[in-house]
Structure 1
Amino acid sequence: MTSVRVVPATAERWPQLGRVFGPREKNPASCWCQRFRRHDEATNRDALRGEIQQADPPVGLLAYLDGDVVGWTRVVPRSTLPRIVEHRALARILDDDPDAWWVSCFVVRREHRGSGIGVALLEAAADWAAQHGASVLDGHPVDTDGLARIPSPSAVFTGTLAMFRRAGFAEIGRTYPTRPVMRRELLHR
């Protein structure tokens, strides 16, 4: 595979982000990476657009392959995601570290799934979080080996256990038999 280039999702790159979201791009009410947030915007797409235009540092990263955008991930301080912070099962596992960051979702264009784009995004997310003072990067992927059948892509938007392991994350607990909490310790850069 040609090397993947991962860059911050800045305001200038907003039009390209829609290409990653594919058919959902036409539906402003679809998730648009808002599942773990709260907002007052008319649509989830408007909420993400506002974040992309105003956030410093950017709230996500985009992956490019041969100059074409192919993937997205949100990576932010954990404290900015109320539905993670207030999640009772996660609270039993996570410490109260104000410098902890969270990688909450991945979107990879259909034709590029299974080609390492998610791992490239995850590795870049760890670097991005470290550059911005994070102590750890956590995530809550799906252990697909424990599922009865192959999950739909929308069921693994938080990533897979195999992907996190390939990116150097270690399991710190589980909220459910198929839902590990994964952590990568970071050195501030």
Structure 2
Amino acid sequence: MSIEVRPATVFEDVKALVGPKRPDASVCWCLSYRIPSTVNNAMRGEERGAFVAQLLEEGPLGVLAYDGDTPVGWAAVAPRSATTFARNRRIPHVDDLPVWSLWCIRVRPGHRGKGISHALIGGAIEFAREQGAPALEAYPLDNRGAKVDQTMAYAGLRANFEAAGFHHAADTSSVLNGHPRVLMRIALEGPPMSGGTS
């Protein structure tokens, strides 16, 4: 299997990964950390998908992994200043660099365990680098090998980020599914990495 990671620009492909099976269902659409909670909580059903379509007109919302023409994975990537992590008291700011954040990884059922999350992290690194980000942060679970509920694994796992070259930059006071979250960071200045495909 050859996985290609591309910027997330096609609405139907984004919808396949983070949208609902029923158009009127009020699923996350990966908006929870992207927009203020008051705006996020006020939107219902099809309004949420329409909002994502509008955001896509302004540019990619992250990256998608493709197996051929089929979208099989998603990673949300954006400047931290444009997300709720800009003001999140549980996730510290390490310094004043205008870092980007990678906060959600999702792989479609039936495609897990094939290295797609690793390809998504590599693709997110390259995407953020191409956008001029000086560094990329993530806030994964430090599960220390313990089993993680798939519905709560969207933040990613520390070991996967370490494998991609991220380093532990700070502890956080955020806990998800009983596991502490840590702030991981990778510097993006310098020569490009070989990544984004697997």
Q: Report the residue type matching 1:172 in the other structure.
A: A
The code of the aligned residue for 2:82 comes to T
1:164 paired residue among 161, 166, 169: 161
2:3/2:119 contact within 8 Å kept: yes
Query: What are the residue-to-residue correspondences of 1:61-140 with 2, within 5 Å?
Result: 61-81=63-83, 83-91=84-92, 93-98=93-98, 100-140=99-139
Secondary structure (helix, strand or coil) at the match of 1:74 reads strand
RMSD of aligned alpha carbons: 2.1
Q: Structure 1 residues 25 and 165, CA, compared in 2 at 3 Å: closer, same or farther?
A: farther
Q: Which residue of structure 1 aligns with residue 186 of structure 2?
A: 184
CA distance in 1, matches of 2:94, 2:109: 32
Distance 2:88 2:172 in 1: 10
Contact preservation (8 Å) 1:73, 1:105: yes
SS in 2 for 1:138: strand
Question: Which protein has greater RCO, CA pairs closer than 8 Å, 6+ apart?
Answer: 2
SS at match of 1:124: helix
Is the aligned partner of 1:51 residue 2:55? yes
Structure 1 runs (4+) deviating above 4 angstroms are: none
What is the CA–CA distance in structure 1 between the aligned matches of 2:119 and 2:145, rounded to whole Å?
A: 24
Structure with greater helix share of residues: 1
Please give the per-residue CA displacement for 1:44-86, whole angstroms capped at 9, x wherever unaligned: 333222212x223x121111013311011111111000x2111
Which residue identity lines up with residue 157 of structure 2 in the other structure? T
Report the counterpart of residue 141 of structure 1 in structure 2.
140
Return the TM-score normalized by structure 2: 0.81
The letter for the 2-side match of 1:186 is L
Letter in 2 for 1:95: D
User: Could you say what secondary structure the match of 1:29 adopts?
Assistant: coil
Asked if 2 retains the 8 angstrom alpha-carbon contact of 1:5 and 1:63, the reply is: yes
Mapped to 2, the partners of 1:28 and 1:112 lie a distance apart of 24
User: TM-score, normalization: structure 1?
Assistant: 0.84
* Alpha-carbon distance in structure 1 between the residues aligned to 2:139 and 2:21: 25
Contact 1:136 1:184 in 2 (8 A): yes
Paired residues in the alignment total 178
